[in-house]
Chains A and B, each alone.
Chain A
Amino acid sequence: MEIYEQLHQQNFILQEELNKIKQQQPVSVHWDVRTLLYLGILLVTTALGILVYENIETIGHTAVVTTIGVLCAACFIYCFTKANKYAHTKVQSPNILFDYILLTACLLLLTFIGYLQFQYNAFGNRWGLAVFIPMVILFFCAYYFDHIGVLSIAVTNLAAWLGITVTPLQILEQNNFSDTHLIYTAIVLGSALVIFSIVTKQKNIKTHFAFTYKNFGVHILFIALLAAMFNYYNIYLVWFLVIIGAAYLFFTNALKENSFYFLVITVLYTYIAVCYVVINILSAMKDEGALYLGAMYFIGSGIGLIWLLIRYNKKLKHNAGI
């Protein structure tokens, strides 16, 4: 408050503006209430899941499947009747609750199809189909209703269909990176997602989705490339060159698009790759001096990168987003 008064005394702020600031404005609890709502939905859906799991013997499978199916259908019907018309640009959702009901519908759909497959073997031995069908529906919903959250679930499902776990917390634990087939799949998927984000931007179809695609793509690609480098020990320098190439592309792109976020993750992934190569070379020396050299390398490279990042931070325009 004092600052505004001082600015007013120095004739920067007009009297009417100062009055506006001093006037008791209503306090906005927008995000607080939204958080409560989200928490409530999370609690109810989780509790229902546990209840079904624990009481399956007494309730009976048919009853459970029917209930989930009916709930899911009800949510979808609500969404279809309320939704605004599809457009290539960003479409506003009709009301606050709409987004949450759509999310509930999509989550229930996943449970429903998973349950059908698990209990009734609805898709037989074609496990892929049980993931593929919800994935298609999710992508459709994401585009038709314009929901980035659903899009993220859809991309996660796409990766699952290819056999990769990409949820942020499990990406390192649950994937077997010594499986060469998985590494190549992940490299292809990561590149495809990045390319797709560029294409959608050029074609002007839901350009606000591009970040989600690119974000998933860049992380999957870099982690897969690093895994490839650690795994193919004999030709790790070849993979190192591939990483440097990819890093160069993302780095220049981040500078062009003024994206601090992609600049930072590109630099950090590349730093891991460089450190791996340096440690490899040092350990090949089989000499006590290597320890000293290593410590000096980390000090020097750390300070050097700090200097570099600060330099590029100043270069990037200040209207940069993420």
Chain B
Amino acid sequence: MQAYKYKDLYNKLVQQKTSEAFEAQYINADTFKKILEAHPSSLYTPNFFIRIALGLLTVVAVLFFGLLVWLISGADHDYAFVALFFFLCIVCYIALELLIKQKQYYNAGVDNVLMCCSITFLIAAFLTEDFSNNDIITSGMIILFCLWLCIRFTDGFMAMLSFVSLYIFVLLLCAKAGIAGKVFAPFVLMLISAVVFIIANTLLKKEQLLIYHVGCRAVKLLAIILFYISGNYFAVNEAGKQLFSLNENMPAVFAIVYWFFTLSIPLAYMLYGVLKKDLLFIRTGSVLSIISILTIRYYYKLLPAEIDMLIAGLILIALSYALIKYLRTPKHGFTFQNINRNKKDLLNAEALIIAQVFGKSNNKHKGFEFGGGSSGGGGATGEY
């Protein structure tokens, strides 16, 4: 199923996990070294900055390849463009498969951009020509295509894109389903988000899907965000006006329900996060509560903006100061202490070990590339 060898993906994961454990000083350098030595991975993931540059250059190459093909083909009407976009989509996909087969690029910038280009060309091909329900059909196709890309290249971003397309797909379907569909669209969307969350959470526990954990976690995060947005008063009200051309504000009964969602969901996330010691929920809850406050401010301007800012700022300073004092010694499973304090030193140590280990195994297994040890690259990016 995957474009990469399972062994490579698994070993890469082992490298990442043990780096984390080593950084937090759970395992000693000797164990770390032994594990790295026994788990070589030939996947190529370069340094963060190189990745950005490779991505940019790939965009340049793809764009001008498209231009050249267009010049040669001389396409000048809609159907010709549809064919052109399909052709480019296929070329990008084939290039992706070939590069991964030969060079083992894994999140190297090139592969990420080629995936995105392939999707963009597919969307363009579908939307060039006007046919009935083309938006629904397009989003439906993108769900499947992104899901395939996610499975084949174990890519978390594609999993998220697939979920977003599913969300849009359902939203568009609701818009078609008459007045009942329009009224209950937010609830249907919340339900979809909840179901996707549960699915991702179940998949996360399956041992044979270890290599998809990053993708599952990304989908989980997106699911809790979309769950909130589906019930947010501002989003529902404005989407009703824009998408469903409902006139003016919604009836009071619904308004109460959506205000309840807007206010309670972020708090519930934060509470759940604190109880379960899950930073994902605490952080998401904090960011979403800011959005809730902005939503309230949009409809009810009680104080001028600068006074609000001043009060919010003072509360934040007081809160963080209190937290710093309170969590100086760990309490209730939380601490202010920086666990990865010596990240840089550890990184250097890790990098040295990696260089040493892979320098050695280079002699042992012929043809094994030095670049395989780039798990250090994953860590080194946290530096800047």
Contacts and interface: CB of A to CB of B under 8 A. Distances in A.
Contacts of B26: 17, 20-21
A291 B317 CA distance: 58
Interface in B97-149: 108, 110
B68 A260 contact: no
Interface in B312-330: 312-317, 319-321, 323-324, 327, 330
A276 to B, nearest CB: 14
B64 A306 contact: no
Interface in A14-70: 14, 17, 20-21, 24-34, 36-37, 39-48, 50-51, 54
A26 B330 contact: yes
Given A43-B312, A317-B355, A260 B58 contact: no
Given A30-B337, A47-B309, A12 B34 contact: yes
Given A36-B319, A306-B54, A30 B371 contact: no
B53 A29 contact: no
Nearest to B110: A306
Given A47-B309, A264-B49, A310-B46, A24 B317 contact: no
A129 interface: no
Nearest to B283: A32
A20 B14 CA distance: 17
A321 interface: yes
B306 A51 contact: yes
A111 to B, nearest CB: 15
Contact of B282 (A32, A48, A303): A32
B52 A264 contact: yes
Interface centre among B277, B315, B324, B352 (most CB of A within 10 A): B324
B56 interface: yes
A26 B337 CA distance: 9
A242 B27 CA distance: 52
A314 interface: yes
B279 A32 contact: yes
B65 interface: yes
B220 to A, nearest CB: 16
Interface in B247-293: 277, 279, 282-283, 286
Nearest to A302: B61
Contact of B333 (A26, A267, A309): A26
Interface string B193-231: 000000000000001001000000000000000000000
B54 A44 contact: no
Given A3-B14, A299-B65, A313-B46, 7 more contacts: A26-B333, A30-B337, A33-B323, A36-B323, A263-B50, A303-B57, A309-B53
Interface of B: 13-14, 17-18, 21, 24, 26-28, 31, 34-35, 38, 44, 46-50, 52-54, 56-58, 60-61, 63-65, 67-68, 71, 108, 110, 207, 210, 277, 279, 282-283, 286, 305-307, 309-310, 312-317, 319-321, 323-324, 327, 330, 333-340, 348, 351-352, 354-355, 369-371, 373-374, 376-377, 380, 383-384
23 contacts: A3-B17, A13-B31, A17-B21, A21-B27, A27-B334, A30-B337, A30-B338, A31-B338, A32-B286, A39-B316, A40-B313, A47-B307, A48-B310, A263-B49, A295-B64, A299-B61, A302-B60, A303-B57, A309-B50, A309-B53, A313-B47, A318-B373, A322-B383
